[in-house]
Structure 1
Amino acid sequence: MTESRESRSVDCLAFRGGAFVRTARSVPAEQAVAISVGGSTHAVMMATPSHLEDLGIGLALNERIVETVSEIEAIEIVETEAGLDCQIRLVPEKAATYVARRRQMTGPVGCGLCGVESLELAGPVLPRVNAVETIAPSRLVRAIEEMAGAQDLSRLTRAVHAAAFHLTDGGMVVLREDVGRHNALDKVAGHLARQGVDPAKGFITITSRVSVELIQKAAMMGTGLIAAISAPTELAIAEAVAANVTLIAVVRGEEFELFTVPERMEGAVDAAATLAMARA
């Protein structure tokens, strides 16, 4: 058996050609990861134990613990008997604000919804995304191909999600893989913040279905378009409309479905108008 930080090889029996044969399969590493802020646990999740600083920073930004990465004074990954602890220390003025916020919360987890104390906290008012970048259908198709080509851990294990960020007029900036789709996107957000990349200058691709939390994270990042290979939920569509996020899903080869804000996809506005006239 071999092991790495992201995956490990395990022995198993496979039934092939009418008989059992001994083989091995690489499986993704999954470990309990805590995100601690100012010495208090903010969230505990099961995650792939790589790029954890990106995860911590991205979660802090997407859950409004901080407004900018400069409000994080230090970050350290500490290994404990129970798992890994991503310890974040805020600048003093932000730390005081966080302590007040903690009184409204009861042990949230990585998706940003479970464990909150009230329905109001589960449905935060999102900023309206004003990103004006537009892309061509061919650029979107190429981006999905870029993401697929970089999914090393997925090819190895077939058991993780991926999220990536692409520049509208360039290539893929970053891809992160994780057993949790929320974790993967938070890792992307953290990387962009650390590198000073403006999320409004590009778009997100993901390998999972589109749930409402992913739209919320995209809106908090200020990214105008998110594209997924699987379908969205009804609430995700409604949230995308409210936050002015372009939602594209069910991307298969050169085909996809556009659900909201067609203005960011070249050629979509005229098509939407034609369809509206046809229904009249």
Structure 2
Amino acid sequence: MSPQNPAPDASPSSDALSTHAVWRGDDESPGDDSLIEEVPVALVYNGIAHAVMMATPIDLEDFALGFSLSEGIAASSANLYDVEVRRVEEGIELRIELAAADFAALKSRRRQLAGRTGCGLCGVESLAQVARPLPALPFTQKLESAALQTALMHLQDAQPLTAATGAAHAAAWLRPDGTLAAVFEDVGRHVALDKLIGWRARVGAEPGAALVTSRASYEMAHKAASAGIEILAAVSAPTALAVRLAASLNLTLAGFVRPGRANVYSHPERLILAR
């Protein structure tokens, strides 16, 4: 895999954008508009196609690693040996070399999913597959609410793809001092979080929290907990199932993170309120 540490203030990649004609209002002639790219990305493990997700074609090596970990396909990042990004006529294939034991377990699950944009559970074969059990998180992280507010203040400037198109979700890692270590954008909120999870696994986990620009759904909470993330903050609302899951797994879940406010729905002991 080619390491790439995304700079929060980077310009959007040309692979993520297309320019198209647009007529605005009563304009007689069209102008130009930037649109986000959305392509089918197939995850192929040891030559066997497993999943197809709609995604923005940037940071795909991190997506492959993060998806493999958050879906329980790879037991660890060391078990994912290589990722080849191959452009094909229909989209993109991520050809992943997986450890033999993990690949055998994957074949036994016989899970095939074809995910629409942002879909985290499409294609599971039974209800039992929805609730893949996870160990409860430890309590090793704490975060001052001021740090969360600092990160939120800088997050908009760290989303060039959102600024250009208005159509991307973001997942960011914030350090205890509120600085942004990395920001990933994608047309799919689950994909953006998987990219962040893959990046953390690749560069090494550091203290902090995940901040996402979407709602906090069950799948987002489950992915965060599967990656050992102890604090997940979302700018939008959580779902009831996400809150129950977070409470059971010792995940601190905050929603409606806005300037000057945040609602904490589970394990508030990790957040230190400003005095």
What TM-score do you get using the length of structure 2 for normalisation?
A: 0.89
- Note the 1:37-186 alignment, pairs <5 A: 37-102=45-110, 105-107=111-113, 109=115, 111-169=119-177, 171-186=179-194
Residues 149 and 178 in structure 2, CA contact (< 8 A), matched pair in contact too: no
Report the secondary structure of 1:50's partner residue. coil
Deviation at 1:53, TM superposition (A): 0.6
Q: Matches of 2:114 and 2:137 in 1, distance apart?
A: 25
Q: Mind listing any 5+ residue stretches in structure 1 that lack a counterpart?
A: 272-280
Q: In structure 2, do the counterparts of structure 1 residues 108 and 129 end up closer, same or farther at CA, with 3 Å as the change threshold?
A: farther
Q: Matches of 1:124 and 1:32 in 2, distance apart?
A: 25
Q: In structure 2, do the counterparts of structure 1 residues 37 and 131 end up closer, same or farther at CA, with 3 Å as the change threshold?
A: farther
Q: Matches of 2:101 and 2:130 in 1, distance apart?
A: 26
Residues 53 and 114 in structure 2, CA contact (< 8 A), matched pair in contact too: no
Q: Matches of 2:114 and 2:27 in 1, distance apart?
A: 44
Structure with the greater relative contact order (CA < 8 A, sep ≥ 6): 1 or 2?
Answer: 2
Deviation at 1:41, TM superposition (A): 1.4
The one-letter amino acid of 1:182's match is H
Q: Does residue 1:210 correspond to 2:216, yes or no?
A: yes
Report the secondary structure of 2:67's partner residue. helix
Q: Matches of 1:70 and 1:261 in 2, distance apart?
A: 31
Q: Does residue 1:262 correspond to 2:264, yes or no?
A: no
Report the secondary structure of 1:259's partner residue. strand
Structure 1 residues 198-232: Cα deviation after superposition (integer angstroms, max 9, x where no partner): 4xx21100011111100000000111111111111
Report the secondary structure of 1:164's partner residue. strand
Q: Matches of 1:79 and 1:153 in 2, distance apart?
A: 22
Residues 167 and 187 in structure 2, CA contact (< 8 A), matched pair in contact too: yes
Residues 63 and 112 in structure 1, CA contact (< 8 A), matched pair in contact too: no
Q: Matches of 1:169 and 1:252 in 2, distance apart?
A: 18
Q: Matches of 1:134 and 1:171 in 2, distance apart?
A: 15
What TM-score do you get using the length of structure 1 for normalisation?
A: 0.88
Compare the two structures and name the one with the higher helix fraction.
1
Q: In structure 2, do the counterparts of structure 1 residues 187 and 107 end up closer, same or farther at CA, with 3 Å as the change threshold?
A: same
Structure 1 residues 130-187: Cα deviation after superposition (integer angstroms, max 9, x where no partner): 1421111110101112322210100000011000111224622211000000000000
Query: Which residue is 2:3 aligned to?
Result: none
Using the aligned pairs only, state the percent identity.
37
Q: Matches of 2:120 and 2:48 in 1, distance apart?
A: 17
> Which protein is bigger by CA-based radius of gyration?
1
Q: Mind listing any 5+ residue stretches in structure 2 that lack a counterpart?
A: 1-12
Q: Matches of 1:169 and 1:138 in 2, distance apart?
A: 8
The one-letter amino acid of 2:76's match is T
Deviation at 1:99, TM superposition (A): 2.3
Query: Which residue is 1:6 aligned to?
Result: 16
Q: Matches of 1:79 and 1:175 in 2, distance apart?
A: 24
Q: Matches of 1:233 and 1:100 in 2, distance apart?
A: 31
Deviation at 1:238, TM superposition (A): 1.0
Q: Matches of 1:181 and 1:4 in 2, distance apart?
A: 20
